[in-house]
């Protein structure tokens, strides 16, 4: 629908095998590409939605590769965070030919423009429609609303949009006619926790303001879990990291595949506990077991997490989905008001306390995000030097 000329011109190259024709077509595509490259540069300036740092870095790198060729500047120092992220992304393109970089740039801009157009098209009726989610798949059947984290290629890392969408989905689930709400992940991970590219913004200009805004976002996000009125169940389909682990302490039940692991590497990342885990974990486990996880970053297997009370029950991976959903469907037949009121009785005793803990954790983290320890850990991950 309305694809730019270059998009259709590229296709014949994939089916024509005669070398001479192919060369001719390639040259035509390259000529068209240069023009489209210039158009694409203009289009970038007109994008309605900020595409996020990761995409901006890719655009930068492709632009440099297309105009100057392989990265040819000295590597910036470790504390020059923005320049280093740019340099890393450009240099990761290796010896990618200029023409290919130009084409990739055009392709990327085109995909950004069409996604901003398609979201623009729904705007007129948006007030009447349920929200469309980009990072989640939300479904409701058999009395259960399922919120599935849906960035499988990023191990369901939580970017800012996902935090916002989870809050929206929880708000909607609290009001719909379902009886139980489930959070689970798509793909092999439950979630790899906070998307570390959320912190690349931190390197630019107004760091204090960005840290403050992130702390507000985190506080609101965790607040939604504290206040959620219906039984909230985690179906942990694979490894869980960081905030996807700590918030489990605020769920009413946690079912896990035996393939999952539970990891809160806060010290490794120069950070400190969130999700009320500084309060819930020592109570659920024991203070010293919580220390091993929250301070020393010990990764637990599903069975260990179950033995320590963080996980309710572990299932073999081969039967996990079938067993868990059969059970949840049976639970969802229980009287909804009784379940809701029981949760209120249990949760109300400590709601105020949990909100206070949440506020305190967020304010400590706000400072941590500005520390060299944290910034270096994030940059090491983003420059592919460190993985958990």
Ligand X SMILES: CCCCC/C=C/CC(=O)SCCNC(=O)CCNC(=O)[C@H](O)C(C)(C)COP(=O)(O)OP(=O)(O)OC[C@H]1O[C@@H](n2cnc3c(N)ncnc32)[C@H](O)[C@@H]1OP(=O)(O)O
Distance of alpha carbon 105 from alpha carbon 187, whole angstroms: 28
Which letter does DSSP use for residue 190 in this model?
S
Q: Rule CB under 6 A: which residues touch ligand X?
A: 154-155, 157, 160, 163, 192-198, 214, 217-218, 241-243, 269, 271, 274, 381, 387-388
Q: How far is the CB of 325 from ligand X (least distance, A)?
A: 26
Q: Which is nearer to ligand X, 148 or 157 (CB)?
A: 157
Q: Which is nearer to ligand X, 30 or 364 (CB)?
A: 364
Q: How far is the CB of 333 from ligand X (least distance, A)?
A: 35
Q: Which residue from 324, 356, 319 is spatially nearest to 146, judged by alpha carbons?
A: 324
Q: List the structure tokens of 113.
A: 């423009």
Q: Which is nearer to ligand X, 231 or 265 (CB)?
A: 265
Q: How far is the CB of 381 from ligand X (least distance, A)?
A: 6
Contact 116, 152 (CB under 8 A): no
Q: How far is the CB of 271 from ligand X (least distance, A)?
A: 6
Q: Which is nearer to ligand X, 252 or 274 (CB)?
A: 274
Q: Which is nearer to ligand X, 276 or 339 (CB)?
A: 276
Q: Which is nearer to ligand X, 43 or 383 (CB)?
A: 383
Contact 373, 270 (CB under 8 A): yes
Q: List the structure tokens of 143.
A: 């009395």
Q: How far is the CB of 214 from ligand X (least distance, A)?
A: 4
Q: Which long-range contacts (CB under 8 A, 24 or more apart) does 111-118 make?
A: 112/44, 112/47, 112/51, 112/55, 113/43, 113/47, 116/47, 116/48, 116/49
Q: Which residue from 246, 245, 271 is spatially nearest to 365, judged by alpha carbons?
A: 271
Collapsing DSSP to helix, strand or coil, 327 comes out as helix
313-315 sheet: strands from edge to edge: 136-141, 144-149, 180-185, 232-236, 253-257, 313-315
Q: Which residue from 166, 203, 171, 160 is spatially nearest to 185, judged by alpha carbons?
A: 166
Q: How far is the CB of 310 from ligand X (least distance, A)?
A: 16
- Closest residue (Cβ) to ligand X? 242
Q: Which is nearer to ligand X, 110 or 271 (CB)?
A: 271
Q: List the structure tokens of 181.
A: 């709400």
Q: How far is the CB of 51 from ligand X (least distance, A)?
A: 15
Contact 221, 228 (CB under 8 A): no
Q: List the structure tokens of 169.
A: 């989905």
Q: Which is nearer to ligand X, 178 or 257 (CB)?
A: 257
Contact 86, 59 (CB under 8 A): no
Q: Which is nearer to ligand X, 243 or 300 (CB)?
A: 243
Q: How far is the CB of 170 from ligand X (least distance, A)?
A: 16
Q: How far is the CB of 300 from ligand X (least distance, A)?
A: 15
């Amino acid at each position: 629908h309305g694809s730019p000329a270059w998009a259709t011109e590229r296709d014949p190259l994939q089916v024509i095998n005669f070398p001479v024709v192919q060369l001719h077509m390639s040259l035509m595509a390259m000529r068209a590409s240069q023009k489209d490259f210039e158009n694409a540069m203009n289009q970038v300036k007109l994008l309605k939605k900020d595409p996020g740092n990761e995409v901006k870095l890719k655009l930068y790198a492709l632009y440099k590769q297309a105009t100057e060729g392989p990265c040819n500047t000295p590597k910036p120092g470790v504390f020059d965070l923005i320049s280093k992220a740019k340099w890393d992304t450009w240099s990761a393109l290796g010896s990618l030919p200029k023409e290919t970089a130009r084409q990739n740039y055009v392709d990327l801009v085109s995909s950004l423009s069409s996604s901003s157009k398609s979201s623009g098209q729904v705007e007129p009726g948006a007030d009447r429609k349920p929200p469309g989610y980009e990072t989640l798949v939300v479904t409701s059947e058999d009395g259960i609303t399922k919120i599935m984290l849906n960035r499988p290629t990023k191990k369901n890392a939580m970017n800012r949009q996902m935090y916002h969408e989870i809050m929206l989905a929880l708000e909607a689930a609290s009001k719909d006619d379902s009886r139980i709400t489930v959070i689970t992940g798509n793909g092999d991970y439950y979630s790899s926790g906070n998307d570390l590219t959320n912190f690349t913004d931190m390197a630019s200009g107004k760091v204090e303001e960005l840290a403050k805004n992130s702390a507000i976002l985190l506080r609101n996000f965790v607040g939604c879990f504290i206040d959620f009125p219906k039984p909230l169940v985690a179906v942990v389909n694979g490894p869980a990291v960081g905030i996807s682990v700590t918030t489990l302490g605020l769920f009413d039940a946690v079912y896990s595949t035996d393939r999952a692991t539970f990891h809160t590497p806060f010290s490794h990342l120069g950070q400190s506990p969130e999700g009320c885990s500084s309060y819930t974990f020592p109570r659920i486990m024991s203070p010293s077991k919580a220390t091993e996880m929250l301070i020393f970053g010990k990764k637990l297997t599903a069975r260990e997490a179950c033995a320590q009370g963080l996980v309710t029950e572990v299932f073999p991976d081969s039967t996990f989905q079938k067993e868990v959903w059969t059970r949840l469907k049976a639970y969802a037949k229980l009287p909804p008001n009784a379940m809701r009121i029981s949760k209120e009785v249990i949760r109300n005793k400590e709601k105020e306390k949990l909100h206070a803990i949440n506020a305190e954790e967020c304010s400590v983290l706000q400072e941590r995000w500005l520390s060299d320890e944290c910034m270096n850990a994030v940059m090491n991950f983003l420059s592919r030097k460190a993985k958990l």
